[in-house]
Amino acid sequence: MKPRVLQKGAYQPALEKALAEQFDVHQLWKETDQAAYLSAHGSEFVALATSARWGADAALIEALPNLKVISSFGVGYDTIDVNAAAKRGVLVGNTPDVLNDCVADIAFGLLIDVARGISASERFVRRGDWQSGAFALQTRVSGKRLGILGLGRIGRAIAKRASGFDMDVRYHNRRRLEDVGFTYEASLADLARWADFLVVASAGGPETRHLVSAEVLSALGPQGFLINIARGSVINEAALVDALVNKKIAGAGLDVFANEPQVPEALLTLDNVVLLPHIASGTHETRQAMADLTLANLRSFFAEGRLLTPVS
């Protein structure tokens, strides 16, 4: 008998197909009354297939009394109650590493875009404004100072790209890392004060909530740019809107927001902000690799009782 897997939301077609071939899958999001379905059938499921976006809260984990494993599509697991899972002995797997390059590429894309005004100048051309004069001068990227908040797998991929732009890199983390040559800044505000560009690449969740505060933004200053490819929760979004509207920082490149898909209204009309709809991992190649790993974690659990990439 195939293991019974509860699928929380709609995946890309190839992953849906592979899951359905290899497991006895039920697609929870198709239920009109999910709570009623779970109370009648929750005990049937040994596995939950979810994503960084859909997560798995304590109530869902509790509604699945025979759950043994959660496989999540995505590297971030701030939406999964890993403590509730651990208490029940439920293993949790995510999809690290396979998305590092694409996320780092978008971090640099945002950085260059906001500094050089790529999107803003493109709008300028489309509006026909070029007929009336040249686009305003912007800010150089090469040779500048890059501060990275969170030098994990993605942060390191960003630092690697920075060397191609002759940038000086420093970082702030929970603790100094022994295996990197970059300068560690023990204070995030000091890193922001030093940096021309501050890139947020840390995990989300309660430990990093609002780390980028009004104070950090004011340390970044009117010449500094903020890039976020991590989670909206890491930044105090109200303080960021204030900093952008009142030119307390030079600009921001944002792929993530506090309440996605809501984007603060005040940002929509600003030319010093580049707004992306959480696309950093969104390439055919990377999403396929994430799908493969989501599936491989489930297969590994049922074949060998262990996950290839358990959350750390």
The answer, yes or no, to whether the previous bond of 310 is cis (omega within 30 of 0) is no
The smaller minimum CB distance to ligand 8YV, of residues 129 and 285, is found at 285
The one catalytic residue in 122, 260, 285, 306 is 260
Minimum Å gap between C-beta 150 and ligand 8YV is 13
The smaller minimum CB distance to ligand 8YV, of residues 23 and 257, is found at 257
The question of whether 231 is a catalytic residue gets the answer: yes
Token pair for 66: 């025979």
Minimum Å gap between C-beta 163 and ligand 8YV is 24
Task: Characterize the bridge pairing of strands 145-149 and 168-172.
Answer: parallel
> Residues near 55 by Cβ (< 8 Å), separated by ≥ 6?
72, 77, 78, 79, 80, 81
> Residues near 153 by Cβ (< 8 Å), separated by ≥ 6?
75, 96, 97, 100
> Residues near 194 by Cβ (< 8 Å), separated by ≥ 6?
145, 147, 170, 185
Whether residue 222 contacts residue 230, with contact meaning beta carbons closer than 8 Å, is answered with no
Minimum Å gap between C-beta 96 and ligand 8YV is 9
Token pair for 181: 């040559």
The smaller minimum CB distance to ligand 8YV, of residues 41 and 53, is found at 53
Minimum Å gap between C-beta 94 and ligand 8YV is 8
The smaller minimum CB distance to ligand 8YV, of residues 5 and 154, is found at 154
Minimum Å gap between C-beta 225 and ligand 8YV is 22
The one catalytic residue in 170, 172, 278, 287 is 278
The smaller minimum CB distance to ligand 8YV, of residues 144 and 278, is found at 278
* Locus of tokens 């051309």: 125
Token pair for 80: 């999964």
In sequence order, what E strands does the chain have?
4-7, 24-27, 47-51, 69-73, 91-93, 145-149, 168-172, 183-184, 197-200, 225-228, 251-254, 273-275
The smaller minimum CB distance to ligand 8YV, of residues 151 and 256, is found at 256
In sequence order, what E strands does 54-102 have?
69-73, 91-93
The smaller minimum CB distance to ligand 8YV, of residues 25 and 169, is found at 25
Q: Provide the binding-site residues for ligand 8YV, judged by CB under 6 A.
A: 51-53, 73-76, 99, 278, 281
Minimum Å gap between C-beta 14 and ligand 8YV is 15
The one catalytic residue in 172, 231, 237, 287 is 231
The per-residue b/e assignment along 17-56, b for 16 or more CB within 10 angstroms, e otherwise, is: ebbeeebebebbeeeeeeeebbeebbeebbbbbbbbebbb
Rounded distance between C-alpha atoms, residue 92 and residue 294, angstroms = 11
H/E segment holding residue 158: helix 153-163
Which residues are the active-site residues? 231, 260, 278
